[in-house]
């Protein structure tokens, strides 16, 4: 079990390396063919993960693993995910598992044991993250097992609020009574996080709000002044870098920006691994600059 709480990790790592989050979504057609040539089957996966971590550890403070991409590769993918998560946490990175879990009763409790409970406290430890994305759409009771891990083990949550996908407005921008549904979700996030909040520190119960919706983002940030916001959408999703200004609060680390395809995708699969490493480093520098001063730059793919 890490000694630091999620909010401690966020503030320390954001101070050292800014708010960029390396999003790791391993998909063979998006990476150099050199990884594929060196082995067979899923042999490329652990080598690719080691390469990405070798290239980014020391340059960033956070990494986000999208669990679906690993699940798609079966047992080999899950084993690779476990090893990469453990390595990233050991290196001091803040590890976010993007699994968007949400269910009722004992099922939600099982998800919480799987992803947020240390091995010393009854979890397996195989997929222990510092922070987990969760889906609140089945109601506040579905969040309670995850909130228990926040309180007991110093973990963090990112609760879906106003997402970056094109169809998000179909539900999240609808009115319920006299409030947008996304506003009601923000109220829920603020309410359930109250007993996890410690004075002037960041609240470990944060929100997922896309960098694709600056108007909504500004409104929602006003409802969540102490929350850490995870703001996906830069790069191929067309997120507006100026939207980051609307989402930024007043505390160090209160805005984390994941970039996955825009950072790690190789448009030319024939490039060498040395060229790929330089490409990642160049993109990383660009995105770090963009996140530090979003209103002065435009998003790139």
Kindly report, residue by residue over 244-290, the tens digit of the pLDDT.
888 998 899 999 999 999 999 999 999 999 999 999 999 999 999 88
Which residue has tokens 């703001």? 231
- Mean pLDDT value of segment 137-149: 95
**CA-only gyration radius of the chain, Å:** 18
CB 299 within 8 A of CB 239: yes
Two structure tokens written together for 13: 């790592």
Please report the pLDDT score of residue 180 as a whole number: 87
- Mean pLDDT value of segment 185-196: 92
Please tell me the distance from the alpha carbon of residue 199 to that of residue 121, in angstroms, as a whole number. Answer: 27
- Mean pLDDT value of segment 115-125: 90
pLDDT averaged over the chain? 90
Q: What is the pTM of this model?
A: 0.94
CA nearest neighbour of 71 among 99, 96, 43, 110: 99
Between 157 and 175, residue with greater pLDDT: 157
Please tell me the distance from the alpha carbon of residue 273 to that of residue 39, in angstroms, as a whole number. Answer: 15
- Mean pLDDT value of segment 141-151: 96
Please report the pLDDT score of residue 81 as a whole number: 98
Please tell me the distance from the alpha carbon of residue 31 to that of residue 29, in angstroms, as a whole number. Answer: 6
- Centre a 10 Å sphere on the Cβ of residue 292 and count the other Cβ atoms it contains: 13
Catalytic residues, which ones?
A: 100
CA nearest neighbour of 147 among 159, 138, 161: 159
- Mean pLDDT value of segment 52-72: 98
Res. 301: pLDDT tops 50: no
Name residue 160's beta-bridge partners: 208
Please report the pLDDT score of residue 237 as a whole number: 62
Res. 236: pLDDT tops 70: no
- Centre a 10 Å sphere on the Cβ of residue 296 and count the other Cβ atoms it contains: 11
- Is the Cα torsion angle 17, 222, 23, 273 positive or negative in sign? negative
Q: Are strands 20-24 and 62-66 parallel, antiparallel or unpaired?
A: parallel
């Amino acid at each position: 079990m890490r000694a630091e709480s999620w909010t401690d990790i966020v503030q320390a790592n954001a101070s050292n390396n800014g708010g960029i989050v390396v999003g790791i979504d391993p998909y063979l057609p998006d990476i150099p063919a050199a990884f594929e040539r060196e082995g067979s089957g899923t042999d490329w996966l652990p080598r690719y993960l080691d390469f990405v971590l070798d290239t980014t550890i020391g340059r960033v403070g956070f990494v986000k693993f999208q669990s679906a991409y690993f699940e798609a590769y079966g047992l080999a993918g899950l084993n690779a995910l476990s090893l990469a998560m453990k390595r990233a946490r050991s290196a001091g990175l803040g590890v976010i598992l993007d699994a968007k879990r949400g269910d009722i009763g004992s099922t939600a409790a099982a998800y919480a044991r799987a992803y947020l409970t240390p091995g010393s406290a009854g979890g397996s430890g195989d997929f222990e993250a510092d922070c987990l994305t969760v889906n609140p759409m089945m109601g506040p009771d579905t969040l309670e097992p995850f909130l228990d891990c926040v309180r007991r083990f110093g973990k963090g949550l990112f609760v879906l609020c106003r997402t970056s996908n094109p169809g998000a407005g179909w539900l999240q921008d609808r009115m319920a009574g006299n409030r947008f549904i996304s506003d009601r979700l923000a109220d829920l996030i603020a309410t359930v996080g109250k007993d996890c909040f410690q004075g002037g520190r960041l609240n470990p119960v944060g929100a997922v709000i896309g960098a694709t919706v600056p108007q909504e983002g500004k409104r929602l940030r006003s409802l969540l002044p102490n929350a850490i916001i995870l703001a996906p959408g830069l790069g191929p999703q067309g997120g507006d870098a100026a939207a980051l200004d609307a989402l930024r609060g007043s505390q160090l680390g209160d805005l984390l920006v994941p970039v996955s395809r825009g950072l790690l995708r190789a448009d030319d699969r024939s490039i060498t691994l040395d060229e790929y490493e330089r490409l990642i480093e160049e993109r990383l520098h660009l995105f770090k600059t963009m996140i530090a001063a979003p209103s002065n730059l435009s998003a790139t793919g």
